[in-house]
Amino acid sequence: MNIQEPLQLLGGLSPQTFMRRYWEKKPLLIRQAIPGFQPILDRTELLDLAAMDDVESRLVVQAVPGREKAWRMRHGPLARKSLPPFKQRAWSVLVQGVDLHDERIHTLMNQFRFVPDARLDDLMISYATDGGGVGPHFDSYDVFLLQAHGRRRWRIGRQKDMSLVPDMPLKILANFEPEMEFVLEPGDMLYLPPRWAHDGIAEGECMTYSIGFRSPCKGEVAREVLQRLAEQAEDEAGDAIYRDPKQEALTHSAEVPQAMVDFAVDAMRAALRDPLALQRALGEYLSEPKPNVWFAGGAELPTGGVRLDRRTRMLYDAKHIFINGESFRAGGRDAQLIRTLADQRYLQAGDMARLSEDARDLVSDWCEAGWLYAEQ
């Protein structure tokens, strides 16, 4: 992708300008980001997905007559028969991770790869009947809201009062104060930075695609990285035994000796001695597939080019390649070629032929695992 080229998708801004001026800074409304956009999945196809076991979905029903503030939510799988009738107002089905199930949706999401893959999360599709939505709320991540079918009225604002309506099955802002309002038609798109409050209400039957981003919190990153480091800690720190020839006799028998604390600090340092261990653990964590993803196991290495399966997460850093939660050291021409595979998500036959035998063996294993397959 040429990051300096103006994109219709970004209202004529280049990805570079968009990132500098808007990303994480302010909302952007883009009329006709995708001119003539037609929904990729129709209502039946979407609701079929919502009924599947390995697809994350939710039903949100609003406005029980006479009880304006009542919201109901049910997690999927959502059998078609269990949904309200289409002529009933104000209900919505939200289907998460549609990019994992549909190649066309995956291709649409790839248009947003000017943002790092480590940040790109999924494409969610919502279907709503007239008046439907999930109520005024804020998200902790950035989102592009692409209108796919019908119209939706978005009200947005930099909410100061973040208090929520108590005892609701979903997070609804108690005192939403919108600052701006837009009606989105098919092909229009709204970018919202994290924590901007928003409320999207369907005007007639409506479908919205949300391209969502991953914003892990520090605590989660620490836990995930430390968990992976812990697995190797015993090998790294070694089996030296605690000894205390200088221990004095004492009366406060229950007190932890300072020498024991020093020993623990030393053990921790030893476990973290490998300067690349943290990068490796981070890459493995970031490239971990979604919990509901299973690879069926694939074929032998094809003779031509290869393409990553749409569910494969592949990343790299200066010293490693990460694929679906595993890490590999790579250098030289092999690293360069495998990075091309990660960036393009395919590698053409000519480049495949330039891989060393070891690297080909590795790619062959990935092929057998079903992580990539023959480029059509």
Contacting positions for ligand SIN (CB under 6 A): 92, 126, 133-134, 139, 143, 198, 200, 208, 210
Determine the interface stretch with Co ion among 22-30, 56-64, 132-140, 258-266 (rule: CB under 5 A): 132-140
Between 208 and 327, whose beta carbon lies closer to Co ion?
A: 208
Q: How far is the CB of 166 from ligand SIN (least distance, A)?
A: 21
Do 338 and 359 touch, CB atoms closer than 8 A?
yes
Q: How far is the CB of 164 from ligand SIN (least distance, A)?
A: 15
Print the binding letters for residues 170-209 with Co ion: x by CB under 5 A, - otherwise: ----------------------------------------
DSSP string, 145-169: EEEEEEEEEEEEE--S---B-TT-S
The tokens describing 247, both together, are: 């221990």
CA distance 281 to 217: 16
Identify what 92 binds: Co ion, ligand SIN, none; CB under 5 to 8 Å per kind.
ligand SIN
Do 298 and 371 touch, CB atoms closer than 8 A?
yes
> Footprint of Co ion on residues 59-118 (CB under 5 A)?
none
Q: How far is the CB of 362 from ligand SIN (least distance, A)?
A: 39
Determine the interface stretch with Co ion among 136-144, 296-304, 334-342, 366-374 (rule: CB under 5 A): 136-144
Identify what 9 binds: Co ion, ligand SIN, none; CB under 5 to 8 Å per kind.
none
CA distance 201 to 199: 6
Assess 139 for contact with Co ion (CB under 5 A): yes
Residue 137 CB contacts under 8 Å (≥ 6 apart), including other chains: 170, 171, 172, 173, 197, 198, 199
Do 178 and 233 touch, CB atoms closer than 8 A?
no
Rg (CA), the chain: 25
Identify what 186 binds: ligand SIN, Co ion, none; CB under 5 to 8 Å per kind.
none
Q: How many CA atoms lie within 13 A of 290 on its CB side?
A: 18
Among all residues, whose Cβ is closest to Co ion?
A: 139
Contact residues for Co ion, defined by CB under 5 A:
139
